[in-house]
Structure 1
Amino acid sequence: MTSETQWDHDRGDLKSAIRTIPDYPKPGILFRDITTLLGDARAFRRAIDELVQPWCGAKIDKVAGMEARGFILGGAVAHQLSAGFVPIRKKGKLPHTKVSIAYSLEYGLDEMEIHQDAVIAGEKVILVDDLVATGGTAVGAVSLLKKIGADVVAACFVIDLPDLGGADKIRELGVPVRTLVSFPGH
């Protein structure tokens, strides 16, 4: 089973289901909007099926999703794998005992949190989000999961922006990366 996959070839329907918005959130940025993919039942189903495929029949205990689009995708992946779902939230959003980590953004640092008891040490966890760009958020999430004892099996994204190098940063942590489509630039 190979989980390190780039599904750019022959996947035009997924790629075409993603809307590109120029100059958002600032001039020069091409924002890749998955709300159009989520609203297209066939494309949404295909994306979830392809994110799940390498782990069908494997024992995945939990799927972790990052706020907010990772909740949508991760919840669907967890359901398909009969796994639990773990939300990774922005600071101050979780009500119980939590563990936090600072992570890098283009403009500075932010913090994310997870419930301390969200994962039992050694549980196999897949991290899911919509897009990997610079990797700051995903690297932070992987580190946070490992901090509470998770065995992070893979990080899965619908979109990769390979020019920004985020997927490579995750791989450097020893975590395979699965993406379904890629776009050049940022």
Structure 2
Amino acid sequence: MTDRREIVQRLRDTFAWRDTPVGVFADLSGWWRDPELLRMLGPSLAALHTGAQPTVVAGIETRGLVLGPLTALSLGVGFVEIRKEYRIAGEGQREEDDPMLRAGTPPGYQDGGLTLIAPRRLFGPGDRVLLVDEWIETGAQANAVRRMVDEAGADWAGVSVIVDACPADVRERLCVKALVTEDQLPG
């Protein structure tokens, strides 16, 4: 098992805040470039919820589609991708052939909210779903995924993230566990 101090140090060493004309953003590109850190992420995110015994890992596009499979492989379970509906409108099968779960974020989220979708057939009773992502602030997307999981009759195992920047009530309600908090990153 990876030493917690080692992964935290690597996350700090390869992270940067970037100033742009539209504001400051978290530059995570160093995380993906460090092969040892990349190798450690899946097992480390999986270890955050050892008692939850997830049967499936879900990840929201875009970075959840990278971290989710790494975590699922570590747990020996499958992976479900959660897509943003506007990105796949008009693609694939007809809805009646493959019904989708849908849940939206609040209207104020990302200038108008968004709708997350996943094929209904991929979640069901008996599943324990662990959501994996790189960062959580408001919990809007995680709340939407949790509603989808509930609608499918599956159980919520929690959220594993690299960075926790959410309020305590969100952390508790969604069972969020993280490798680092935002204030642990270099400023």
Matched residues, number: 171
Amino acid at match of 2:59: G
Q: CA deviation at 1:153?
A: 0.7
Residue 140 of structure 1: aligned partner: 144
Equivalent residue for 1:168?
Answer: 169
Q: Is 1:149 aligned to 2:146, yes or no? A: no
The aligned runs of 1:23-172 (5 Å cut-off) are 23=20, 26-27=22-23, 29=24, 31-55=25-49, 59-91=53-85, 93=88, 95=92, 96-104=98-106, 105-162=109-166, 165=167, 168-172=169-173
What corresponds to 2:178 in structure 1?
179
Unaligned runs of 5+ in 2: 93-97
Name segments (4+ residues, structure 1) moved above 3 Å: 7-10, 54-59
Contact 2:85 2:115 in 1 (8 A): yes
- The whole-number CA distance in structure 1 between the counterparts of 2:73 and 2:53 is 13
- Measure how far apart 1:98 and its partner are: 0.4
TM-score by length of 2: 0.79
Indicate conservation of the 8 Å contact 1:100/1:113, yes or no: yes
> For residue 95 of structure 2, what is the aligned residue in structure 1?
none
* TM-score, normalising length: structure 1: 0.80
Q: Deviations over 1:76-99 (max 9, x none)?
A: 101111101001101152743201
What is the alpha-carbon root mean square deviation over aligned residues? 2.6
1:19 Cα deviation after fit: 2.8
Q: Which structure shows the bigger proportion of residues in helix conformation?
A: 2
Does structure 2 retain, via aligned residues, the 8 Å contact 1:139–1:170?
no
